[in-house]
Amino acid sequence: FISIGLMVAGFIEAMNWTRKMSVVAAPMIRFGHLSDLTGAAFSMAFFSGVAANTMLSEAYDQGKLSKKELLLANMFNSLPAYFLHLPTTFFLTLPLIKGATFIYIGLTLGAALLRTLGIAVLSHFLLGPENMTGTHGQRQAEKISFRQAGKRTLARFTKRIRKIIRLTLPIYIVFFWLSQAGMFQLLEEFMADHLSFLSWLSPKAVSIIALQIAAEFSAGLVAAGALLQDGTMTYKEIVMTLLIGNVLSSPIRAVRHQFPYYAGIFKPRLALQLIVFSQSFRAFSIALVALLYFLLVM
């Protein structure tokens, strides 16, 4: 999938389609003083997160994006990244927690929208108007054939994939060994065992959160569905519990699933910075939505 993302991103760049793709997010891009490349990556993220991140990485390596805009652009893609996984989340959640699905999806969608709009506002102040004039005005509508674009894409792909293989393969192997050695299980159990600060929740709610952390989101959903079915917990309690579990399970999910492939696209140190910023911002937005839901409904 990383290879496919590289090919797609390289071909789009070679065909000079980035400006056309950025039209989708044009109002927010202009308001945030962001570049065409960020807008194109935003549009691509609706279809492939790997391709979107590859576009950003390529632009950063070529000096077309500053590090500041790269960090902002990665967080700006929260909304399309959410929609990319929405069908899976929805059809996994609906059979288990029934009507609570629409509340949970609505709140997490609101958090994703809040993140993207928040980054647009933040970048408006962090990036000056000169960032737009330096990127939007420099693109020439160069005519290029599909054959030429294919050659350029292949040349760039060959150069890039070597670096990715050298980094991604060892990292995945190391993380596999750590998983086999039980390191992630120990970390998950430690987090699950230290939930005393959630004493204001019912023991059943804490058990759902522990399952979300120690296993996967689906394990927490199954437990939530069972408790909802026998009338032990209400829709409101289930939604609140899943939101809290979503926030607390973010660090494990980021380290275990996101870092290995991010380190293949970006330099490992930069990949870690991107993950820390994006996951922290994601956790904050969901926590804020959960707090508002608690104050208004619970």
CA dihedral angle for residue 273, residue 53, residue 111, residue 135, rounded to 10 degrees: 90
| Burial class of residue 202 in the structure, from the number of CB atoms within 10 Å of its CB (0-12 exposed, 13-18 middle, 19+ buried) | middle
Whole-number CA gyration radius for the chain? 21
Q: How far is CA 148 from CA 12, 46, 103, 217, in A?
A: 12, 27, 49, 45
pLDDT in tens, the chain (298 residues): 667 767 776 777 677 665 666 576 788 888 999 988 898 889 888 878 888 898 899 889 889 899 999 999 999 999 988 988 888 888 888 888 889 999 999 999 999 999 999 999 999 999 888 777 555 444 444 567 777 778 877 887 787 777 667 766 776 677 678 777 877 666 656 655 666 666 667 777 777 887 777 666 777 888 888 888 878 788 999 999 999 988 988 887 777 778 888 888 888 899 999 999 999 999 999 999 999 999 998 6
Give the H/E segment covering residue 277: helix 268-297
Q: Is the whole-model pTM more than 0.75?
A: yes
